[in-house]
Structure 1
Amino acid sequence: MTSIIFDLDGTLIDSAPDIHAGIAKLLQEEGLAPLDLATVQSFIGNGVPVLIERVMQHCFGSVDPARRDSFIARFMAHYNAAPTALTRLYPGVKGALVQLQDEGHAIGLCTNKPAAISGAILTGLDVAQHFRAIIGGDSVGAKKPDPAPLHAAVEALGGGKAIYVGDSEIDATAAAAARLPFLLYTEGYRKRPVAEIAHLDSFADFRRLPALVTAVAAKAAEAAPQ
């Protein structure tokens, strides 16, 4: 069967409220007012170091390398203390995972978030049992849109055919670089209109995903050399 690899933030989970809360605590320590949720959400997608750099650029007008690592460590301490306090699965995710697993698909995760906290979040939201592999931004020495994490996820799931499911331009670029079919979840953290993001198909309701996977797998089987 086809392996199904998911992004995490903005695809399976709406984690922006917890990320926003961690940034608010960090800024409070600096004597600054919190940023609004929409602003913090717009900074999500390239991993924590880039998130912090964007926050610093927004608040201070530049990134101070001497303070950057401290900001990252302090944010992660705040975030890791309660990563699922406000985070929720998107509607229909759990049912889609159960159906895909019942249909025989191997399920994996490929995210720019560190692997350990990603696993803890999946456990906290009671879906970790569906995942055979977790590849984080610290797993292979590269982050998306580099294709290396996706290649590692495919290998961890046993190789063969795979589909990537994500919500952003970064996910689309990574999937193209890894030469994987890409399904776009439209209700996440993308920055550009759906029409401007390369994808094989898109969906706004996770109840549609198993049927889309079946259709993509069927097309791939028809195109395969006999």
Structure 2
Amino acid sequence: MSAKLKAVIFDLDGTLVDSARDLTATLNYVLRHRGRPEIGIENVRHMVGHGSRALLIKGFDYSGNVPPEEELDRLQEMFLDYYNNHIADHTISFPGLWEALTELRSNDVKLAVCTNKVEDLSHKLLQSLGLDDFFCALTGGDSFDYKKPDPRHLLSTLELMDCDPDNAVMVGDSANDIDAARNASIPVIGVTFGYTPVPVEELNPDQVIDHYDKLIPALREIMKT
């Protein structure tokens, strides 16, 4: 591993973990409560990435009109309460992740999570999957007054890690991740197995991987430049 690499920041949903089944079940729980039809997982996958409220809005918009803001507040509470109790019923980490994280940690590379999911649920999900010990920092969509694709979300995460952007790489699955990294002048690796509605190759990350066994070689390639 290049001595230049000091930090790797990961997105969560669709990057570290495949959480689509539990997010779909939670969204459909709320939709049923309002008498709306359920949405298939293949559609929900492309709605994930902007936080729970945005997912609710997209879910309701998919099947009709979106409830007013005051009702959305109540529905979001219902969503978060249900999800909190079912956060890892079917969620798993992506293949090869453990091995990649272990190798990075053994090379003294600091690891962090930067996600638009709320912070407490992000911590709980990582703990439920036994992944929390890998990461020295985690920031969520409610950690600051800004979130991805705002580059300050990544830069503030790096501050918590006590790392410089020049020695960091972002790993994500969507335009939120890639745009945030670009605007923060941080190289970015896109994963093909995430939830983006646009193929990640079309978002022009610095490297693209289809499995976590490709992560270390991709990081080495980036650090050459």
Length-normalised TM-score, structure 2: 0.93
- Counterpart position of 1:101: 105
Q: Residue 163 of structure 1: SS of its match in structure 2?
A: strand
Query: Structure 2 residue aligned with 1:9, among 10, 13, 28?
Result: 13
Within 5 A, what are the aligned runs for 1:129-148?
A: 129-148=133-152
- Counterpart position of 1:192: 198
Query: Structure 2 residue aligned with 1:84, among 85, 88, 112?
Result: 88
Cα distance in 2 between the residues matched to 1:118 and 1:150: 16
One-letter code of the match for 1:28?
R
Cα distance in 2 between the residues matched to 1:193 and 1:75: 28
Residue 63 and residue 30 in structure 1: after superposition, are their counterparts in 2 closer, same or farther (change >3 A)?
Answer: closer
Asked if structure 2 preserves the Cα contact closer than 8 Å seen for 1:140 and 1:148, the reply is: no
Query: 56-65 or 117-126, which moves further after superposition?
Result: 56-65
- Counterpart position of 2:187: 181
Q: Residue 101 of structure 1: SS of its match in structure 2?
A: helix
- Counterpart position of 1:152: 156
What's the % identity of the aligned pairs?
A: 30
Query: 32-41 or 114-123, which moves further after superposition?
Result: 32-41
Unmatched segments (≥5 aa) in structure 2: none
Within 5 A, what are the aligned runs for 1:23-38?
A: 23-38=27-42
Instruction: Show structure 1 runs of 4+ deviating over 6 A.
Output: none
Cα distance in 2 between the residues matched to 1:190 and 1:204: 14
Query: Structure 1 residue aligned with 2:178, among 167, 172, 183?
Result: 172
Deviation at 1:23, TM superposition (A): 1.1
- Counterpart position of 2:72: 68
- Counterpart position of 1:224: none
Length-normalised TM-score, structure 1: 0.93
Within 5 A, what are the aligned runs for 1:116-131?
A: 116-131=120-135
Root-mean-square deviation (CA, aligned residues, Å) is 1.2
Cα distance in 1 between the residues matched to 2:202 and 2:159: 30
- Figure out how many residues of one structure are paired with residues of the other and give that number: 219
